[in-house]
Every structure is written in C-alpha cells, then in structure tokens.
Amino acid sequence: MSQRVYVVGAGIIGLTTAFELSERGVSVTLIDPAPASGASHFAGGMLAPVAEVQYRQEPLYPLMRESAALYPDLLERLGRVTDLPLGYHNHGTLVVAADRADAQHLAELTEHQQAHGMEAQRLTLREARRLEPALSPALAGVVSIPSDTQVEPRLLTAALRDALTRRGITFLKATVTGLSEGHLDTDRGPLDTRGAQVVLAAGLGMASISTGLRLRPVYGDILVARSPGLLDRVVRGFVRDRPIYLIPRGETLAIGATSREDHRGDTPLGAVRDLLDDACQIVPALEEAGLVEWGTGARPGTPDDLPYLGRISPQVVVSTGYFRHGILLAALGGLAGARLALGEAPGFDLSACAPQRHK
C-alpha cells in the first residue's frame, strides 16, 4: 500500500487518523477549510462506554469499550510529541435521577448495562453527596460509573494539531467537492491522488463529495458556565425523562445533552431554558454561576446511528457518521482508519459499521 495518504476532514476523527498515520512515518495531507471547528468544537468529550449505551445499538458496545481502553495509550503517545495539555480527567461519572419516574428509567438502564457486563454501582444519595456535595438533596437515585472518564475536546484537538504540525504534516485549507479514482476535486483546484490512499473523515461535509452515504445532521446545544470547583466528576442525569450532563472543566462547567433534528443551526432559547432548568435541579448552586458561552453543533448521524467505517474502493476508506460518539470512538476510529489505509486488517470487528450497508 501507498505511504502517501490524503485525509479529508480535520475534526477529531480525521486528526486521530492522521496522527496514527504519522506514527507509522506516512506522508499525510490533511484537508479541511476550518480544522476542528465542527462537531468536535461543540462536543462534551465524555469517554463513556457505559453511560452512553443506547438500546438497539448493541453492536456498538464492544467498539465503545475497546476505544475507551485505547485512549490511555493514544494520549501517552500524543504527549511524547506535544507539550500542550490533553484535557484528560479520570474522576469517573455519576448518573442521577431527579424524580421517581426518572429513577425507574435509571434503574432500567442500570440493569441493561449490568446485563452486558458493564460496571454500574448504585449509591445512596448520602454516599453520592459525600463525593459531590453540590448535588441536590432531593434526587431520587444515583449510580456511579467509575470507569467512564472524559477529555476536553478543544484541548485534545489543539494538541493533535500541534503534534501533526511538529511532524511536518501538510494542512490544506480547502473544501473537497468530489472525488474519482486518481484525483480529488477541491475549491482550490484538483489534487492528483494517483498512487495514494484517501480517507474520507469529513463528517457532514461528505454531502459535497457525493459518496452515496446516508448522513443527516443531528443538532446538539451546549452551554458553558463559570463555576470553579463546583463538581469534580461528570454528572449525567434524567430530569422529567430529559437527559442532561454536567462536565467540570477546571474553572468552567459544560452543560449539554440536547439532540434535535429540526434543521436549526442556531441555539433555540427553549433549549437553553431546559438545559438551565434541568442543570439547576440537579445542582442548585448553578443558579449562582455565570453563563459564559453557548453554541450548537451538528453531528453526522446515519440511519441506524452506527458509524460508517471501512473501505469503499481500492483507493478510498470512509470514516464518518459517528453521531454522539465521535470523541469516544476517535481512538479506535483513528487507529482502524490508518490501518485500513495502509492495507492492514483493522484489528476490530467492524461488520456493523460497513459503509455500504444502506445502499
């Protein structure tokens, strides 16, 4: 296989793929008009293969666990190349329920997780508030997931970009508008890719490349509040059956979990209201926090919400459609995408992620 690879897309998936290729001494050109500005910029960053499970997505569970297990090695190798912070925190996760109905939802989810061999420990509210005193004393249920951790996506993507720059990777600020065997069309002119491999990791940008993959935008709203020291752990929860997450990031706290398919790329006031109401019900002290940022990102979803990861031609590998799991699956997706581009076995069972399955 070629030792020259074009990676289209510089979100978390494209960046980790390029990094894994650089680890093998491959010449990489990374193409993106605005690196790390899409879904990765607005992501929560939870490495949560237990808390993030969704019913009817069982084929994804082993890949989620395998990717989480790959992260320590990825971060250790990345830290050898860059001295920028990586934003990794391993304090674990608490999942809480606001009322009785939410507690039933949480109990059913916990049973599902345990039935699939995942570690999820029920705590009393007193035990939970010893760990996180800011939690509301009125919560109806708490589960601890010590193995679920987090990274700060903006720090991680900045570190990846720095590492790739240090290794001499070529960054091309362009939009790919089409491809055929032997060349890529871009808004800055055609690129000759004869003798090279191409990895398409452009997320929703795949629509302009016309590969026939079925992707849709799923919008997620996120808020950032200034609240130093309020929480140590990620706190996820259900409030009136709505999911909510609170992610401590040093001086600030990210609040998110909306999932909209209404084609609105702005941030609806109703979503902001619901996020703030739910967050303050779980952690009442947040009412005193200052709101410093809000935004909306569009995540690439597939018809079954499983990624497209695999080869679609002798020259082209696809790695997209990661939906809510882009940060979590980046360690596995980057490694598998690099291996596939180099003609190697991916090392994981990717049958559920076959790119041609919806054609």
What three-state secondary structure class fits 315?
A: coil
Reading the block at residue 15, the tokens are 């960046």
Mean pLDDT of 98-112: 97
Q: How far is CA 338 from CA 2, 131, 173, 330, in A?
A: 12, 40, 21, 12
Residue 136: predicted pLDDT = 98
Q: Which residue, 41, 44, 38, 36, is CA-closest to 275?
A: 44
What mean pLDDT is reported for the chain? 95
CB 78 within 8 A of CB 160: yes
Instruction: Return phi, psi of residue 3, to 5°.
Output: -100, 25
Percent of the chain past pLDDT 70, that is, above it, reads: 99
Reading the block at residue 318, the tokens are 């696809």
Instruction: Return phi, psi of residue 216, to 5°.
Output: -135, 150
Task: Determine the Cα–Cα distance for residues 211 and 208; give it in Å rounded to an integer.
Answer: 9
153-166 helix and 61-81 helix, angle to the nearest 10 degrees: 50
CB 236 within 8 A of CB 243: yes
pLDDT tier at 241 (50, 70, 90 boundaries)? very high
The residue whose two tokens read 């960053």 is 45
What three-state secondary structure class fits 122?
A: strand
The residue whose two tokens read 């409030």 is 239
**DSSP strand pairing (197-200 vs 316-320):** parallel
> Strand runs (DSSP E) across the chain, as ranges?
4-8, 27-31, 46-47, 88-89, 93-97, 121-123, 141-145, 149-151, 170-172, 176-180, 183-186, 191-192, 197-200, 216-226, 234-239, 242-249, 252-256, 290-301, 308-311, 316-320
pLDDT tier at 233 (50, 70, 90 boundaries)? very high
Residue 2: predicted pLDDT = 56
Residue 257: predicted pLDDT = 77
Residue 55: predicted pLDDT = 87
Give residue-wise pLDDT tens across range 160-188: 999 999 999 999 999 999 998 889 999 99
Residue 202 has pLDDT above 90, yes or no: yes
pLDDT tier at 135 (50, 70, 90 boundaries)? very high
Residue 211: predicted pLDDT = 83
Whether this model's pTM surpasses 0.85? yes
Residue 207: predicted pLDDT = 85
**CB burial of residue 141 (10 Å; 0-12, 13-18, 19+):** buried
Residue 1 has pLDDT above 60, yes or no: no
Query: Which domains, ranges and CATH numbers included, belong to the chain?
Result: 4-82+152-214+303-353 (3.50.50.60), 93-146+216-301 (3.30.9.10)
CB 330 within 8 A of CB 308: no
Q: How far is CA 225 from CA 82, 93, 185, 337, 355, in A?
A: 29, 19, 42, 36, 39
Give residue-wise pLDDT tens across range 61-91: 999 999 999 999 999 999 999 999 999 999 9
Q: Which of 52-56, 121-125, 266-270, 272-276 has the lowest mean pLDDT?
A: 52-56
pLDDT tier at 156 (50, 70, 90 boundaries)? very high
Higher pLDDT, 207 or 271: 271
> Strand runs (DSSP E) across 181-289, as ranges?
183-186, 191-192, 197-200, 216-226, 234-239, 242-249, 252-256
